[in-house]
Amino acid sequence: MRDSERIFTGKRILLVIGGGIAAYKSLELIRRLRERGAEVRAVMTAAAKQFITPLSVASLTGDVVYDDLFSLTAEATMGHIELSRDADLVVVAPATAGLLAKMAQGLADDLASTLLLATDKRVLVAPAMNLRMWLHPATRRNLALIEADGVRRVGPDDGAMACGEFGPGRMAEPPDIVAAVAAALDAGTLVPLPPEIAALANGRLESGKSLAGLRVVVTSGPTREPLDPVRYLANRSSGRQGHAIAEAAAAAGAEVVLVSGPVDVPDPPGTALVHVETAREMLRAVEAALPADVFVAAAAVADWRPVVQATEKLKKSAGATTIIEVEENPDILASVGRRTHARPRLVVGFAAETGNVIPFATAKLGTKGCDMVVANDVSPATGTMGGTSNQVHIVTRGGVESWPRMSKADVARRLVGLFAATLRGGPRGGGA
């Protein structure tokens, strides 16, 4: 990878696709940005969907396409404010004359124009339109206004147009837009609040700090239940999902205690980590970390532990079968969910199942006294257990919401958005 291309690694680009024939080039733009290591999230205007399909865009971004300002599902998980701020850079390609006019006026009447007004990041536009539209005094005025506001621009190019005319108005080619994205990322893309407002907001308005001032306790990873000094019962949990939730909650401004069983994944930044081995140690560490506003039980706690933990290594006796007697471990989630005193306002469990996922998860709301169960299928064919992606269903007493497969980091970020939205909805009562 060339040095100039490293700037894309891990960067999040929010691509607003406007309604013009040049939208087909946006598909290639997505591919080129992702090839360089950027994540691309796409928003389409209603007109854009007349030119290219959301399915093509979703296939290339590997994410859902955002297009509805009033989608309750999207608002609860990744609302328009978060969508516009979760990015490192907002790119509008093609930027139609209509979109430029809305940007110049600050008009917010659909998802694309609303997030362009709500964003705290730099915006790069790649205009595309008929040459008369490009040369029209109204477009000249709008462009002058948005450039004075700090919006960056790439193109348009001169050339033959789909409408049969020739002149300026063709959208810049994807390699040129990629170069402009690199230059914008290099220049720094956060547009800070004026200092007097930033001081007033006291950090709470900072990008994405939706859990500021709250305490979150997360369990993660497997537990190990010793059989003798060298052997134990455990499971294949990697801790990736729980660790990602702890990291996302910390990034959202929460004070996070992460109680983790033995895992190989790195310690998430910004969290207080408590390492434990057995279920009983995990329960003690969780109790010590409470009270909290949110408790997330993402650990795959061993259901049983050997009744006897031998102090010496157990010996085999040739040909004989051995029975290992096990007893039940404490249920950490249920003990927190059923608390009548100092119960966290939001108690979230996980349900990893290999079939009948939603009925089992729904039952857990009651048996464990939790407010939300994040359910997923961990059948080996899904690759979820130990893998980097996840496909979850959010089960609450209000119903079930299924999210598309996405990275565990994205699941974590969306869950954190959902926790914040749920807590804003008011305090909850005790569990079932």
Measured CA to CA, the distance from residue 37 to residue 11 in angstroms comes to: 7
**411 binds ligand C5P, rule: CB under 6 A:** no
Measured CA to CA, the distance from residue 41 to residue 392 in angstroms comes to: 19
Inter-residue contact 146 to 104 (CB < 8 Å): yes
List 126, 161, 279, 416, residue binding ligand C5P (CB under 6 A): 279
- Alpha helices of 19-136 — where are they, by DSSP H? 23-35, 54-61, 72-78, 80-85, 97-105, 111-118, 131-135
Which range, of 14-22, 166-174, 254-262, 331-339, touches ligand C5P by CB under 6 A? 331-339
**299 binds ligand C5P, rule: CB under 6 A:** yes
Of 174 and 369, nearer to ligand C5P (C-beta) is 369
DSSP 380: G
Of 104 and 279, nearer to ligand C5P (C-beta) is 279
Is 163 noted as a catalytic residue in this protein?
yes
**351 binds ligand C5P, rule: CB under 6 A:** yes
Residues 178-237, interacting with ligand C5P (CB under 6 A):
219
Beta-carbon contacts of 139 under 8 Å, excluding residues fewer than 6 positions away, are 97, 100, 101, 129, 133
Measured CA to CA, the distance from residue 29 to residue 92 in angstroms comes to: 11
Nearest to 134 by CA among 107, 163, 110, 112: 163
Which residue among the candidates 135, 138, 163, 191 is catalytic per the annotation?
163
* Share of the chain residues as helix, strand and coil, in percent rounded to the nearest 5: 35, 25, 40
Of 149 and 327, nearer to ligand C5P (C-beta) is 327
Which range, of 31-39, 230-238, 299-307, 405-413, touches ligand C5P by CB under 6 A? 299-307
We find the least distance from the C-beta atom of residue 177 to ligand C5P, in angstroms, to be 44
We find the least distance from the C-beta atom of residue 250 to ligand C5P, in angstroms, to be 20
Measured CA to CA, the distance from residue 167 to residue 134 in angstroms comes to: 10
We find the least distance from the C-beta atom of residue 242 to ligand C5P, in angstroms, to be 8
Burial class (CB in 10 A: 0-12, 13-18, 19+), 53: middle
**333 binds ligand C5P, rule: CB under 6 A:** yes
Which range, of 3-11, 246-254, 348-356, 376-384, touches ligand C5P by CB under 6 A? 348-356
Single-letter amino acid code for the residue at 167: G
**331 binds ligand C5P, rule: CB under 6 A:** yes
**395 binds ligand C5P, rule: CB under 6 A:** no
Which residues contact ligand C5P (rule: CB under 6 A)? 219, 279, 297, 299, 301, 303, 329, 331-333, 349-351, 364
**Which residues are part of the catalytic machinery?**
163
